[in-house]
Chain A
Amino acid sequence: MSTEPISPIPDAECLHRLRHGDADAFEVIVRHFERPLRSWLATQTPPGVDSDEIAQKTFIAAYSRITEFEPGTHFASWLFTIARWQLKTETTRLRRVADYHARYAPDLLHLELQRNREALPDLVATRLDHLRHCVQQLGNPLSRYLQWRYYDEIPLDEMASLSGRSVAAVKKQLWLLRQRLQTCIESRMTPAPERTPP
């Protein structure tokens, strides 16, 4: 499996402008990294944490601390390190909020996500591309449920009403949808076996 590594921008001129507080120069950074960063954070943030909020904090922190970035080193690594810090900080803060426990559960999932936190951002970006492909391959009726659940965000009972099925049957369809997509991603992520010459 090959993944396109995230580009190590910015170049020397961009860095120079950033160090002089040029916000326009930073827009280039945000545009370049928002997709890999947001998608990576989406896979790493536990329930109850807004991954886009962490992404914004990460960019703001990077902008504010740009003088700490060492030219010649990998900018993406630096940015994702900040993101890990921001995520850890936010989850720590939320853990201290009274109503957090209920939103955070199940705690074991959180631990598992923590273990996976070193997952390469490039890998997540690849996974996202595969997921898009898998979504396009979905046929009816699962694509309807995908639309309702993730695009329209309608409640289960409304899906039941629209589909003429019970809520339990809707849940079953959602499970099948997620399983199908999961299997599809895994098969696309698995490297093809090398052919042996005849």
Chain B
Amino acid sequence: MQRPTETAPLLDLSGVTVRFGGVHALTEADFVIPRGSVTALIGPNGAGKTTLLNAITGMVPVSEGRVVLDGCDITHLPPHERAAAGVVRTFQNLEVFTSLTVLENVMTGRHALTRYGIVASLLRTSGFRRAERLCRERALEKLEFVGLADERDTPAGELPYGRQRLLEMARALAAEPKLLLLDEPAAGLNTRETASLGQCIRDIRDRLNVTVGLVEHDMDLVMGISDQVTVLHFGHPLATGTPDEVQADPEVVRAYLGEEE
């Protein structure tokens, strides 16, 4: 499905370089996520996909280049300010708050949106109670969205793996982001779970109007749901296009299957 991209892209990385000592994990990478799209980032292991995600969310310092989200330069903001600016993520190795309940996890996602001071919480003012009620309602909506509402009072650490992935998505969505970044959301899921994940990601785009950036190895999932695919190779973008264009690109085929002799 082709989506309109006539407006400026939601996320625009230009010339981003990330170095770890002498190693260039990303070299002058340009990467764009159009507004309202599902954009996938693929590439062989070690191509720098997660590093790119980390550069967008502020978890690694960017040596050169710019990261622009919705017209704001966020290149040098700390992670928590980027979340407030509108980009949140999930993690490849789950980072669920295991000691909190499922609902508390999602309510934590609304931290920056739940605005009341320390004094208000100490004294349980009416403003506090109103904000907490709203926070709880919105969190429950997100749990219903991913289908975890029945588990709201379960300690998150007791959820099975696949459901913890859904919980992370609900928690990230609770922050009401403009851009949701998913780091290998299908890792460790079975075929059935992956299929429902795909539907869930489509719903995030179509029903919640949240743009999705996706790092994923499951090619069926990527090609099935993405509007745009960017292939990363040795820290550098190799090709960008629709799933069909990318699959037909000889450079991409070479990168994935190796040089023909």
Q: Do A and B share a complex?
A: no
Which residues does B use to contact A, with CB under 8 Å? none
